[in-house]
Amino acid sequence: MSFPKTGSKYSGLYQLLRRSRSDAVRLSFREMEACMGERLPASAGTAGFWSNRSSGALQAAAWMQAGYRVASADLRAGERESDGAVADAR
């Protein structure tokens, strides 16, 4: 799967990570939503959403194609200012 896929809601996240020069990036859910221009889906509250799977997940393609893997995700329900996810480079 190549990125950015035209019209993908995750293309803004991909662009932000692609421009980053940091080995690790920590983003709150609100920060991710701001760069996406819309809210994360309800499934973002589950561990499976943040898995580093190589097929079938546009969100995973966004961070993996940008050279990152999710190291951890704070899934505390309803806390939009929580740490969100920490992505580590390669």
> Looking at 35-49, 53-67, 75-89, which range is the least confident one?
75-89
Over residues 3-55, the pLDDT tens digits come to 666 678 999 999 999 999 888 888 888 889 999 999 999 898 888 999 888 78
Amino acid making up residue 39: R
CA dihedral sign, ordered 10, 28, 19, 36: positive
Helix segments in 11-82, DSSP class H: 11-19, 29-36, 58-65
